[in-house]
């Protein structure tokens, strides 16, 4: 179990839909621990397996002092929406106003194959939606309006070339969350 390198914008693994987990074994438990350690080290409030190069439907989260994970998630979203700044560990140093559902009920499994339900609003809902998007090969920048994308293109192009934003240091990126990027 160890901190893993986080894949950055432009890495093709971030665009590939992840495969469902079928084996709830020791290897999966190691992946969950690696996700949690990497996320906490970054620091972030969520991290999906594709962000460390693993194409499985697994993510970890750390919101309101609750550390958890979810495997093979399915989401039920509220109709009410909320726009807030959102960042991503794969987009270091960048955050953009992003619209998400205000609340979520997420169902899936824990690392032992036991059913889990996560219910939350605001930051937890945003985190669960963001990480589930990663599992589908969707990036939060895909959810920006065309006008916002146009304004952010320069920063996104720099990241795609492997250039970090001026003044970037690990853990500096992020949303309006205390823990940094999602």
Question: pLDDT digits over 82-141, tens only?
Answer: 999 999 999 888 888 899 999 999 999 999 999 999 999 999 999 999 999 999 999 998
Q: 182 falls in which pLDDT band (50, 70, 90)?
A: confident
**Residue from 19, 131, 163, 178 carrying the catalytic annotation:** 131
Please say if the pLDDT value at position 46 is more than 70: yes
Evaluate the CA torsion angle 125, 74, 86, 82 in order and state its sign. Answer: negative
> Residue 169 contacts by C-beta under 8 Å, 6 or more apart in sequence?
none
pLDDT attached to residue 10: 86
- Cross-strand partners of 181: 44
- For the segment 146-161, the average pLDDT, to the nearest whole number, is 74
Average pLDDT of every residue of the chain = 88
More confident residue, 145 or 136: 136
Q: 171 falls in which pLDDT band (50, 70, 90)?
A: very low
Cα distances (Å, whole numbers) of residue 87 to 92, 96, 159, 175, 182: 8, 7, 13, 4, 6
Please say if the pLDDT value at position 169 is more than 60: no
pLDDT over 90 for what percent of the chain? Answer: 72
Please say if the pLDDT value at position 164 is more than 70: no
pLDDT attached to residue 176: 34
Angle among Cα 14, 101, 147 to the nearest 5 degrees reads 65
What is the pTM (predicted TM-score) of this model?
0.86
Q: Say whether 131 is catalytic.
A: yes
């Amino acid at each position: 179990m160890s901190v893993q390198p986080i894949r950055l914008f432009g890495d093709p693994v971030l665009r590939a839909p992840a495969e469902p987990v079928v084996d709830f074994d020791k290897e999966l438990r190691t992946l969950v621990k690696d996700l949690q350690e990497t996320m906490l080290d970054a620091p972030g409030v969520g991290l999906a397996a594709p962000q460390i190069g693993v194409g499985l439907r697994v993510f970890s989260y750390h919101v309101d002092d609750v550390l958890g994970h979810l495997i093979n998630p399915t989401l039920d979203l509220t109709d009410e929406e909320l726009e807030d700044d959102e960042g991503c560990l794969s987009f270091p140093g960048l955050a953009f106003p992003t619209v998400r559902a205000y609340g979520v009920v997420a169902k899936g499994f824990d690392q032992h194959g036991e059913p889990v339900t996560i219910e939350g609003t605001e930051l937890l809902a945003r985190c669960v939606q963001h990480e589930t998007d990663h599992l589908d090969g969707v990036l939060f920048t895909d959810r920006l309006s065309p006008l916002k994308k146009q304004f952010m293109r320069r920063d996104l192009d720099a990241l795609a070339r492997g250039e970090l934003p001026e003044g970037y240091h690990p853990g500096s990126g992020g949303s309006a969350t205390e823990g940094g990027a999602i």
